[in-house]
Structure 1
Amino acid sequence: MGANVVFIATYDTKGLESDYIKKRVIANGALCTTIDVGVGGEPTARPDVPLSKLCEGTEFTVESIHRMPRGQAVAAASNLVERYVDREFKAGRIDAVIGIGGAGGTQIVTQTMRTLPLGLPKLMLSTLASGNTRWYLEDSDIAIMPSIADVAGLNCVTMMIFDRFAALAAKAAQWYSSDFGAHARRLLDRSVLRVGQTMYGTTTKGVTRAREALEAKGYETLVFHASGAGGRAMENLVRDGVIHGVLDMTLAEIGAYLVGGLHNAGPKRLEAAVERKIPMVLVPGAADTIVLPPMDELPDKFKNGRTLNYHNPTMTTMRTNVEENRRIGEFMVEKLKGAGSLAKVLIPRGGLSSIDRPGEIFYLPEANEMLFDTLKQGLAGTGVEVIEDRRHLYDPGFGESAAELLDGMMKEFYKK
């Protein structure tokens, strides 16, 4: 039996297009099972799994969904297809999940995709791919592709896009069917211990030195961009048992959550390692930074009285102030206070990022002092050791010292 692509689409509006893509997937050597999640009326082509099949065993019928306000109907279809695909995946009948859509279709399909595990191919062809896709992707490995033209009709543009999409889907499913098993076994292999790290452009040198030192000691390192999704992805892999220790040297996601920046990882940042009871070293790198939109799109509350840095044409960074650093410290204390000796905090007193040193735009020692004092006072008596180092995050030897600290904790912990 060949690799199977599960294809989710709104057949009430995209039946013709869906049938075309299905035929192209099959022509590229894979099987294709289509699922209808259209909520606006009868399908315009025949799917393999109609909406009525998704409704079986639930409180819903096709008729009741059609009578709902559109938003409620979309939510119902999202939940129904998620339930159905979960069963099919657990039964081993899925090698890739793909979907097409505009706003409603993208929501329905990606909700299901986000529940599926890392590694299973997930391809979304969407009219929204060039906009803000964070709500649809979150911390998943969904690949979202722009449709260029709307997913409406067959023409010289849509057929080219659909053909490419189908070829990618078929090849991805074939890869999963034949090759993913080896990767899955490696993810669960504990013969080599893995360390999760976080990084920014302004913490890269220190993080890289730490990474190289850990790799020289035999660890496998997984580095995550602290973009919000990156921090959540690292925490998920900790919970999944893929990561065995954490050297978290870029904590800007905390400030983004508290202040309102783009790189917001949410309220559960720093929780996974504590929950899993694995070694963790935290360095408050980039706690001086909040990532914001471009200068001409800044929210009004950040336009006056703040230190702003032109990071690049699409991004502004803002220096955290004294009060914000106090709140960041309190957040860290709250998350770490139950970790005991499995967590250590290493403070680079010389500066938290490449632009936090004398003469640089983010140099604000009083804000750093507030962060450091909050951490020391809040973690006193908890068993979490706070170590102060006079060096800057970028100074030679600092990253190596952070790696050495975690290495000692890992050796002690995993000798059991």
Structure 2
Amino acid sequence: MRPVYVIGTCDTKEAELRYAAERVRAAGAEALLVDISTTPSAASADVTPETVARHHPQGADAVLGHADRGRAVSAMAEALAQFLLSREDIGAVLGLGGGGNTSMVTQAMRALPVGVPKLMVSTMASGNVAPYVGPSDIMMMHAVADIAGLNAITRTVIGNAAHAAAGMALNAVPEAAGGKRAVGLTMFGVTTSAVTQLRHLLEGDCECFVFHATGTGGQCMEKLIDSGLITAALDLTTTEVADHLVGGVLACTEDRFGAVIRRRIPWVGSVGALDMVNFGARDTVPPQFEGRKLYVHNPQVTLMRTTPGENAAFAHWIIERVNRMEGPVRFLLPLRGVSAIDQPGKPFHDPEADEALFAAIRAAWVPAPHRRLIEIDAHINDPAFAEAAVHAFRDITRGA
């Protein structure tokens, strides 16, 4: 039986953590108490802070004994992530705590693959939990009362969380039958037509997972790639890069494309929706962009047309990463436009800006036997482009 790892700081929350472990065992699962205290703790945990700290890349001394609590907490979070990644017997992870504990435990939870059960009981769970959850499948449960002593409220909340974690550890989700290849596709409203065509062309032998390119969407796809749950990608909508470099609200992180580099999966990429940067309502557009070409997509979304100089910067940022991909790669350029509003008669039609993007990609591209740049004389939403993308995908996944 794989145990539930009950994690927290025993120097401040030993009674609550032991109660959680007790309820896990009462529900029929095994429990392993992991102490991540950064100050001396007299608790007798199954896994001591010293054991966790030794998993830090610079050793235990980088974690324990810091006078600066912030540095100690950050180092313990990194050590805990490495500790959990080293374990092969995790049935579920259950964390309890306030701000510091939540930060440490959820950072480690985010390092685990999607599918490993993760439940965090936290005083922070009724606010914005995006910084804690990120692209992972962490369940946040509001503690209601602070986890500072056992009482009628904390016993009930912690007990419910412990029973939930035990249930997840005891009942693994059966793998789906069928054996279809799991493929990630990135889509935005202005590339929906392209991705819909791709899904119809692939659905016979692939299981398609579509991710909305909203910053978090790209992170979620790459988290699943890192977790081994997506084994190929048609990453046609890379618009998150534009927001990242220009300052839009749907930005990727510096690690965009990192999972593809690490996992070496078959990857077909393109430049979908790089003609735009996203902001909120019209009055939220930063003052420095007044005078730029803006398009009110709806009352909550305002799009800004990208310039030739910005497009060249996007190209260099993307292709620097594509050139590091060692798996089979095809990168497609739709020469007649990159979004539904970038074609003749549409508000973002700008051949000069598009050509700056394409020219910079050509200039930065480093050819390799496994990596090809393909130019398509079609718009990204044209059937010809979808057919070319599927042909490229079949080419690099044949026999894989």
Question: Is the CA contact 2:184–2:235 (under 8 Å) kept in the aligned structure 1?
Answer: yes
- CA–CA distance in 2 between the matches of 1:145 and 1:201? 33
* 1:389 has 2:377 as partner: yes
CA RMSD after TM alignment = 3.9
Normalising by structure 1, we get a TM-score of 0.77
Whether the 8 Å contact between 2:38 and 2:73 is mirrored in structure 1 is yes
Deviation of 1:144 after TM superposition, in Å, equals 2.8
Q: Following the alignment from structure 1 to structure 2, what is the Cα–Cα distance between the partners of residues 286 and 75? A: 37
Moved more, 398-407 or 237-246: 237-246
| Greater alpha carbon shift after TM alignment, 47-56 vs 323-332 | 47-56
**Cα pair 1:125 1:147 within 8 Å, conserved:** yes
Local SS of the residue matching 1:34:
strand
After superposition, the Cα gap between the structure-2 partners of 1:142 and 1:372, relative to the gap in structure 1 and judged at 3 Å, is same
1:19-58 equivalence runs, <5 A: 19-39=18-38, 42=41, 47-51=45-49, 54=52
8 Å CA contact 2:226, 2:259 repeated in 1? yes
Give the C-alpha shift of residue 163 in structure 1. Answer: 3.8
Is residue 252 of structure 1 aligned with residue 239 of structure 2? yes
Compared with structure 1, are the counterparts of its residues 343 and 166 closer, same or farther at alpha carbon in structure 2 (3 Å cutoff)? same
**Can you give the 5+ residue segments of structure 1 that lack an aligned partner in the other structure?**
none
Q: Separation in 2 of the partners of 1:245 and 1:321? A: 32
Q: 1:49 to 1:227 in 2, by over 3 A?
A: same
C-alpha contact (below 8 Å) 2:5/2:92 kept by paired residues: yes
CA displacement, residues 209-245 of structure 1 (integer Å, 9 cap, x when unaligned):
10220123x2333333334444345446556665454
Tell me which of 205, 213, 228 is aligned to 1:226: 213
Identity percentage over the alignment? 35
1:145 to 2:141 alignment: yes
Q: TM-score, normalised by structure 2?
A: 0.80
Deviation at 1:385, TM superposition (A): 3.2
Q: 2:360 aligns with which of 366, 371, 374?
A: 374
For the residue of structure 1 that corresponds to 2:171, the secondary structure is helix
Q: What is the CA distance between 1:331 and its match in structure 2?
A: 2.5
* 1:283 to partner: Cα distance: 2.6
- The whole-number CA distance in structure 2 between the counterparts of 1:56 and 1:272 is 27
Contact 2:98 2:147 in 1 (8 A): yes
**Distance in 2 between residues matched to 1:296 and 1:5, nearest whole Å:** 49
Answer yes or no: is 1:404 the counterpart of 2:370.
no
Contact between 1:330 and 1:374, CA under 8 Å: does it hold in 2? yes
Aligned with residue 324 of structure 1, among 293, 301, 310: 310
Offset at 1:249? 1.2
Q: Which of 165, 170, 174 is equivalent to 1:174?
A: 170
Equivalent AA in structure 1 for residue 67 of structure 2: M
**5 Å matches for 1:335-350?**
335-337=321-323, 342-350=328-336
Query: Counterpart of 1:283 in structure 2: which amino acid?
Result: S
Larger displacement relative to structure 2 (353-362 or 94-103)? 353-362
The one-letter code matched in structure 2 to 1:369 is E
Q: Distance in 1 between matches of 2:326 and 2:150?
A: 61
Confirm or deny: 8 A CA contact 1:337 1:384 kept in the other structure: no
Cα shift at 1:324: 1.3
**189, 195, 199: which one pairs with 1:207?**
195
Does residue 1:78 correspond to 2:57, yes or no?
Answer: no
Aligned to 2:158: 162
- 1:101 is aligned to 97
DSSP 3-state at the match of 1:129: coil
In the TM superposition, residue 264 of structure 1 has moved relative to its aligned partner by 3.5
Note the residue ranges of structure 2 that are not aligned, 5 or more in a row: none
Offset of 1:312 from its aligned partner? 6.3
Partners of 2:384 and 2:267 lie apart in 1 by 19
- After superposition, give the CA deviation of every residue in 1:350-369 in whole Å (9 maximum; x if it has no partner): 43334444565544443223
